Amino acid sequence: MEIFDGVNIIALEQPLPVGSEFVVKDLLIKYPVFWDESFKGIQDIMRLKDISTGLVFEITKFGGLLRTSEYLKVAESFGLETMISSRIEHPITLRWAKKIMKSFDYIDLDYEHYIEKTSK
């Protein structure tokens, strides 16, 4: 982590591969940690709650709005912060994510910066 000295880090998202999350305990002292790929269901909230600042949500990750709402309530009950994000998804999914975005602590729904335009 010395390579990050002097860099203004706001938070780390999925800093370690799935399955090796508990190595992050020492980082929690210095940086907020949000899990993305490691968070796929209720059991992951239980597993990650003590080594997390927050969790990254996507509607299609959980199969729809109802399960997203359920997981959101559980995450919040443990005091975890939440982020709604969007992979490069269908416009309808993005539209629904924008409708519920105020339920989350952080919003990352502008994926324009992930797309590179070509001459085609």
Is the pLDDT confidence value at 15 over 90? no
Among candidate residues 60, 57, 63, the one with its CA nearest the CA of residue 76 = 57
Domain positions in the chain are 2-114
- CATH number for the segment(s) 2-114: 3.20.20.120
Token digits for 37? Answer: 């790929």
Q: What does the angle CA 86 – CA 32 – CA 57 come to, to the nearest 5 degrees? A: 25
Interval 25-84: pLDDT, tens: 776 677 889 999 999 999 999 999 999 999 999 988 888 899 999 999 999 999 999 999
In the structure, what pLDDT confidence band is assigned to residue 5 with cuts at 50, 70 and 90? confident
- In this structure, is the dihedral angle defined by the CA atoms of residues 106, 107, 108 and 112, taken in order, positive or negative? negative
Among candidate residues 66, 65, 59, 114, the one with its CA nearest the CA of residue 84 = 59
Share of the chain above pLDDT 70, in %: 86
Task: Read off the pTM.
Answer: 0.84
